[in-house]
Amino acid sequence: MSYKWWQSAVIYQIYPRSFQDSSGNGIGDLQGIIERLDYLNDGTRDSLGFDAIWISPFFKSPMKDHGYDVSDYCDVDPLFGDLDTFDRLLAAAHQRGIKVIIDYVPNHSSDQHPWFIASRSSKDNPQRDWYIWRDPKADGSPPNNWGSFMGGPAWTLDEHTGQYYLHQFVPEQPELNWRNPAVKEALFDAIRFWLDRGVDGFRMDVIGLIIKDEMLRDNPVNPNVNLTELHPNDVMGRTQSLYNLDQDDVHPILKEMRQIFDRYDGDRVIIGELWGPLDRWARYYGENLDEIHMPFNFRLMDEPWETAAEARQKVNDLEAAIPAGGWPNYVLGNHDRIRLATRFGPRARAAIMMLLTLRGTPTFYYGDELGIKNVDIPPEKVQDPQAKGLGAGRSRDVARTPMQWDDTPHAGFSRVEPWLPVEDEYQVRNVTAQTADPSSQLNLVKQLLYLRRGSAALSIGEYESLSDDPHVFLFRRWHGEDEKIVALNFSGKRISVDLERPLTLLLSTAVDRTRQAVSGVFELRPYEGAVFGAADKESIE
Ligand code: NOJ
């Protein structure tokens, strides 16, 4: 069986505003990414060795949702550079063997996109039907009860034409009408534009939202909601998302979209931002694996779990839900969620070891290798429209703060004050300091990636969980002759695991004991994880 590059790859997500500012305006840019590529992979063991980067949107945008409101799908926003900078970034990445995945925002454009400007200009404009317009109800209220992810209703009345338009994010993100073939073609053209330029794949934003119920029916009221706990502006939280996402008609469109990719060489990949119950989610692979290569799997990030037993259950449920031949993937952090270090606390290192040793492609969020935590944002510095709409508790700014390169002012991210504050502890938590500390989290990640890269079992092998210990997640990965055992203690207690035979300890999350022979029983320290190899195949240092 042959494997595609994206199956054995580890992806690093870059939020371009916050990675490296090269222009001196406090906001990261594409040139900044070029300058930091060696950190991610310079081809030697000194760098981390990521195989691919996914760059969040850098397209032309009024930045009402920091780039997820696109006003030109085929150009770079001057804040980040230009097409030439992008081409140089792509070439520099490819030179280092790094694949480049870009974002694609098909559900909505910016209200400043020429398509929407035309569409809103009059009811009989030829592009009126490119967006979703409806008359008010008899009492003047919105056409249905849908809410926005950012708070408030999902409809805004356009005074000029007297109709409402749909937007499930901020009002400046009107939703495109994918039932109109011209819209579909225009958005397919945008895909071809970037594939022709040489990108290796796309991460598709809220792809399960692009098709809505044809009749735009009201969503059912959410019976589980506690209205006293719900933010007063959380209209979406009052209902269940039955008619606004995961509609059957989305699948034929995705099949068509996939055919575009299949016509290119190089195994270009589609990753979809999707969620929801496992059976519905798994359909996005396509009946014949002919839709999305990897629907993002957020379960270990979004769903509550504390113990090894709970983690194992989630992994085993996922493995069981994936269609034959489908490839899993795992995510523990991104630009919409709280930081991995904040989510997992003392279990963070074991969680990272799990992410990088399970069967499936891991996506790693920038800065999580250092353990950057959520940063409290003072009210006057709030940027995120979701925090503005639904309160500080829903802020995504907390996990979008600048990358911490060194202990100089602004952490080496910028010469000037950055767009969001740097974490207070950046003088101790930064790339330079952690590179010098052999047992740092950064070095753990580096060694895990190195181990994974050199092991067919870890990168493409099979998976099987080995025990039902409530505190230790013990599993086996294997491919051909290569076999690895992973033991993750998610509890604060010392626990002995029965490995049933002598093995070689290859790496501990504490990065202090490596290459040791171990007898059949091994004692894990609190929150410690360990990877083992066969006793007779691995050399002992
Ligand atoms: C999901 C993206 O990840 C998020 O950042 C954005 O606000 C929404 N989609 C809307 O595009």
- pLDDT at position 540, please? 61
Residue 64 Cα to ligand 1 midpoint, Å, equals 11
CA 180 to chain centre: 29
213 CB less than 6 Å from ligand 1?
no
The DSSP bridge pattern shows strands 495-498 and 521-524 to be antiparallel
Residue 245 near residue 273, CB atoms below 8 Å: no
Nearest CA to ligand 1 atom 10: 68
Domains of the chain from N-terminus onward: 5-107+181-213+245-447 (3.20.20.80), 108-175+214-244 (3.90.400.10), 461-534 (2.60.40.1180)
Mutate to test the pocket of ligand 1, among 13, 65, 70, 245 (most ligand atoms within 8 A of CB): 65
Edge-to-edge strand list for the sheet holding 269-272: 294-295, 269-272, 201-204, 99-104, 52-55, 11-14, 361-365, 329-331
CB 206, CB 102: distance < 8 Å: no
Strands 99-104, 52-55: parallel, antiparallel or unpaired by DSSP?
Answer: parallel
Condensed to tens digits (0 to 9), the pLDDT of residues 412-438 reads 999 999 999 999 999 999 999 999 999
If one residue of 206, 274, 390 were mutated to test the ligand 1 pocket, choosing by the most ligand atoms within 8 A of its CB, it would be 206
CA 475 vs CA 96, 349, 462, 468, 498: distances in Å: 33, 17, 10, 10, 12
69 lines ligand 1 (CB under 6 A): no
Q: Positive or negative CA dihedral for 450, 455, 458, 464?
A: negative
Q: 186 — phi, psi (to 5°)? A: -65, -40
In angstroms, what is the span from residue 205 Cα to ligand 1's centroid? 6
**Does ligand 1 have an atom closer than 6 angstroms to the CB of 206?**
yes
Tokens read off for 49: 């060795």
Sequence-distant (6+) residues with CB within 8 A of 202 are 101, 102, 103, 104, 191, 194, 268, 269, 270, 271
Q: How far is the CA of 366 from the centre of ligand 1 (A)?
A: 17
SS3 state of residue 28: coil
Q: What is the per-residue pLDDT for 2?
A: 83
- d(CA 305, CA 351) in angstroms, rounded, equals 11
CA distances from 292 to 178, 327, 393, 462, 533 (A): 17, 10, 32, 21, 34
Residues recorded for the chain = 541
205 lines ligand 1 (CB under 6 A): yes
Cα(353)–Cα(489) distance, rounded to whole angstroms? 11
Helix axes 441-453, 348-355, angle to 10 degrees: 20
Torsion of the alpha carbons at 148, 151, 153 and 159, rounded to the nearest 10: -100
Angle of CA points 311, 51, 530, to nearest 5°: 40
Query: 62 alpha carbon to ligand 1 midpoint, in Å?
Result: 15
Q: How far is the CA of 67 from the centre of ligand 1 (A)?
A: 9
| Sign of the torsion formed by the C-alpha atoms of 226, 231, 232 and 234 | negative
Cα–Cα distances in angstroms (integers) from residue 419 to residues 25, 66, 76, 394, 410, in the given order: 9, 11, 19, 19, 11
Beta bridge mates, 13: 54, 365
Q: Which residue has the tokens 């952090």?
A: 333
Low-confidence ranges of the chain (pLDDT < 70): 1, 539-541
Residues contacting 440, CB < 8 A, separation 6+: 433, 434, 511
Digit-coded pLDDT (tens) for 228-266: 999 999 999 999 999 999 999 999 999 999 999 999 999
How far is 26 from 327, CA to CA, in rounded Å? 39
Instruction: Give the distance (Å) from ligand 1 centre to CA of residue 149.
Output: 9
Task: Give dist(CA 489, CA 475) in Å, integer.
Answer: 12
Based on C-alpha coordinates, what's the Rg of the chain? Answer: 24
CA atoms of 495 and 489, how far apart (whole Å): 7
| Cα gap 537→506, rounded to integer Å | 11
What residues does 133 pair with on adjacent strands?
A: 165
- Nearest residue by C-alpha to atom 2 in ligand 1: 205
Atom of ligand 1 nearest to the CA of 108: 11
C-alpha 107 to ligand 1 mean position (Å)? 10
Give the pairing type, strands 529-534 and 482-489: antiparallel
Answer whether 72 contacts ligand 1 (Cβ < 6 A): no
Residue 385 CA: nearest ligand 1 atom is 7
68 lines ligand 1 (CB under 6 A): yes
Q: Is the dihedral of CA 329, 357, 53, 91 positive or negative?
A: negative
Give me the residue label for tokens 């969040």.
Answer: 56
Three-point CA angle 450, 271, 108, nearest 5°: 140
Kindly tell me the sign of the dihedral angle through the C-alpha atoms of 176, 180, 183, 188. Answer: positive
**Residues 204 and 292 sit within 8 Å (Cβ to Cβ):** yes
- Using a cut of 0.85, tell me whether the model's pTM lies above it: yes
What are the catalytic residues? 205, 273
Cβ-Cβ contacts under 8 Å for 78 (sequence gap 6 or more): none
- Which one of 17, 271, 336 would you pick to mutate in the ligand 1 pocket, going by the greatest count of ligand atoms within 8 A of its CB? 336
Identify which of 205, 271, 363 to mutate to test ligand 1's pocket (most ligand atoms within 8 A of the CB): 205
Query: Coil, strand or helix: which one is 377?
Result: coil
Count CB-CB contacts under 10 A for residue 273: 22
In eight-state DSSP terms, residue 262 is H
Q: Which ligand 1 atom is nearest residue 386's CA? A: 7
Ligand 1 near 70 CB (within 6 A): no
CA distance 225 to 363: 32
Beta bridge partners of 249: none
Phi, psi of 442 (to 5 degrees): -60, -45
How far apart are the CA of 212 and the centre of ligand 1, in A?
17
Instruction: Give the C-alpha separation, 319 to 362, whole Å.
Output: 15
Distance CA 32, CA 414 (A): 10
